[in-house]
Amino acid sequence: MSQNEESDVEGAENLGDEVPEIHLVAPTAGTNPFRNELADIVSDNWEELGFDVDLEELEFTAHVDQVVVEQNFDASLLGWGGTPERIDPHTFIFDMHHSSTTDQGGRNTPGYENPDYDELAELQVTQVDEDERQQTVYEAQEIIAEDQPRTYIANEGGYEPYASSRVTDINPTLGEGLNSFWNLTSVTPTGDDTVRFGYPSEIISLNPMRDLATPDRQFVRLLYDQLYRIGEDGMPTSWLAADDPVIEDDGMTYTVEIQDGHTFHDGEPVTIDDVAFTYELYADSPTYSSLVEDIEEIDTSGNEITFHLAEEYAPFVANVLGQVYIFPEHIWGDVDPDELVDFEDENWTGSGPFEFVDWERQAELQLSAFDDHFEAPNADNLIRVPGADTAQLVNDLEAGQLDMVGAVPQPTAVNRVRDDDDLDLAEFEAIGYAMIEYNMRREPLGDRHIRRALSYGVPKEEYVEFIRDGMGTVTHSTISEHNEFWHNPDVEQFNEDLEAARQELANGGYGWNDDGRLHYGEDQ
């Protein structure tokens, strides 16, 4: 027991009420064995610090619903996907931490509010000069690290297995590995014309207007085109757009020409009117209207669309033109704005490189190549198979029932794959991360001392080096070190240190009773 702890125990008669129990939501062992094991250690550490912890384990869909949609949690151990669209820092800096995004379904799940931080998050949006914007993003990371609305644990890179004897042209990319758009369109079957892809959770929805989890979005973007896509280098590249946008000198006017002759999956032409309709539809979206809120006016002429912005918006190409899916007006035109998130298109008709075939939930999602696409995929058919857990999926891969698995197996399975001549491993680095987020709307988690103390109870090094067998990198920031230009390497660091945690709690006025249970101070 530390000196601080002893002094607090001696003054136990001056303590206030017990600190409330912490409800920690974590994945089941089947959903994510690494994070499940980490949750047990974190729970024990927090108990040692004097907290009561109620650890609840949930499957992925139920976890997302309870934490992100309903916000019914105290602390949550979950991952945040690092898709290429998030290489630009706006998602991590603004969407996940600005006070305007705290409502249910918003990305600021902790309910974090800090006016000084908001100023920086808003400023970086307007800074077209990258060096100036980098400095602002650096300062924002420093504030987040100090306030700890989330404990950023590890960028979970690693190895994902595939059947090298059955598929070629594997193309894992930064942040996503085998789940990347560029891999799913480049992978080529060597035997039949089908690639079978396994993932340890079911898709929740294919409706692009839903607040999609990362596994859903990774398949939705195969069905729907954007004007630009984020390329393998992390930069926006022309897609449905014929070329780079023409940007006026004021930095507030963007003109884009779309490709001629492209069609939706049902054969109807993709027109400039469909593009304009789409951006108007997003403005009515209860989920994604913030994406287009800086667009003041839209003009069209021939095959061109011009966006007039209300103010400069530095990530406009990457975060708006590169994320808005193009919808067919002849299908979505009669959908009421209040029904957008619940609309069910029986064919999920887009204009992307794959088209929808069939979806048997809990069994498989079937897509086929859209041969008329200007970048048609190499596989004629792509089947996504949800698995109960990654271990089962690796077994199915070994048995020849799958060709790729979009998840990192446990070390024993990784070694087994290495020893199999028919299998191989795709290595990738991550820009997303495992994290614990704290619901700051609830006591005692609104107190920064509490959050910082809890962060000291998370064994980040042990998680990467032992639980994940060296796969991934420890992180202390919302921006991954693999996103080199935007990552601030000098933020405050929180490694496992229970003595530092106790000191943080003592500094916050907390104390312990004779049983070591944490209490508020008398004046709190």
CATH 3.40.190.10 domain extents, the chain: 159-224+352-427
Per-residue pLDDT, 106 = 81
Amino acid identity of residue 490, one-letter, is D
Alpha helix positions (H), 410-462: 411-418, 448-456, 460-462
Q: Based on DSSP, count helices (H) and strands (E) in the chain, helices before strands.
A: 16, 24
pLDDT in tens, 416-465: 999 999 999 999 988 889 999 999 999 999 999 999 999 999 999 999 99
Residue 178 buriedness (CB in 10 A; 0-12 / 13-18 / 19+): buried
DSSP states along 177-223: BTTSHHHHHH-EESSSSEEEEEESS------TTS---HHHHHHHHHH
Per-residue pLDDT, 138 = 98
CATH 3.10.105 domain extents, the chain: 15-156+431-521
pLDDT in tens, 313-331: 888 998 899 999 999 999 9
Both tokens assigned to 399: 């048995």
**Are 229 and 286 a contacting pair, CB within 8 Å?**
no
Distance CA 66, CA 73 (A): 7
* C-alpha dihedral sign at 463, 464, 465, 470: positive
- What's the pLDDT band for 214 if we cut at 50, 70, 90? confident
171: pLDDT strictly greater than 70:
yes
Per-residue pLDDT, 2 = 41
- What's the pLDDT band for 216 if we cut at 50, 70, 90? very high
**Topology of domain 230-343, CATH:** Dipeptide-binding Protein; domain 1 (3.90.76)
- What's the pLDDT band for 4 if we cut at 50, 70, 90? very low
At the top level of CATH, the class of 15-156+431-521 is alpha beta
- What's the pLDDT band for 211 if we cut at 50, 70, 90? confident
Per-residue pLDDT, 86 = 81
pLDDT in tens, 360-401: 998 999 999 999 999 999 999 999 999 988 999 999 999 999
Determine how many CB atoms are found less than 10 A away from the CB of residue 97.
28
Distance CA 25, CA 430 (A): 23
pLDDT in tens, 149-163: 999 999 998 899 999
CATH 3.90.76.10 domain extents, the chain: 230-343
Per-residue pLDDT, 397 = 97
* Sheet strand arrangement including 246-247: 246-247, 253-257, 304-309, 295-301
pLDDT in tens, 193-204: 999 999 998 999
Amino acid identity of residue 454, one-letter, is L
The listed CATH number (3.50.50.60, 3.40.50.300, 3.30.930.10, 3.40.190.10) that belongs to domain 159-224+352-427: 3.40.190.10
257: pLDDT strictly greater than 80:
yes
Distance CA 274, CA 336 (A): 17
Count of residues making up the chain: 524
Q: 3-class SS at 364?
A: strand
Q: Average pLDDT, stretch 170-196?
A: 94
- Spatial neighbors of 403 by CB under 8 A, at least 6 apart, are 162, 163, 166, 167, 187, 189, 195, 196, 197, 397
pLDDT in tens, 218-242: 999 999 999 999 888 778 899 999 9
- What's the pLDDT band for 1 if we cut at 50, 70, 90? very low
Which residue, 343, 518, 443, 429, is CA-closest to 87? Answer: 429
Tokens 């007039």 belong to 308
Q: Average pLDDT, stretch 236-258?
A: 93
- What's the pLDDT band for 342 if we cut at 50, 70, 90? very high
pLDDT in tens, 273-283: 999 999 999 99
Per-residue pLDDT, 80 = 87
Distance CA 164, CA 489 (A): 37
Bridge partners of 162, per DSSP, are 404, 424
pLDDT in tens, 283-295: 988 878 888 989 9
Per-residue pLDDT, 12 = 53
Both tokens assigned to 206: 């294919």
CA 247 to chain centre: 30
Per-residue pLDDT, 234 = 77
Distance CA 82, CA 87 (A): 8
- What's the pLDDT band for 3 if we cut at 50, 70, 90? very low
- Average model confidence (pLDDT) across the chain: 93
Q: What are phi and psi of 156, to 5 degrees?
A: -90, 65
User: Which one is predicted more confidently, 250 or 321?
Assistant: 321
Per-residue pLDDT, 13 = 60
pLDDT in tens, 8-61: 433 456 899 999 999 999 999 988 999 999 999 999 999 999 999 999 999 988
Per-residue pLDDT, 319 = 87
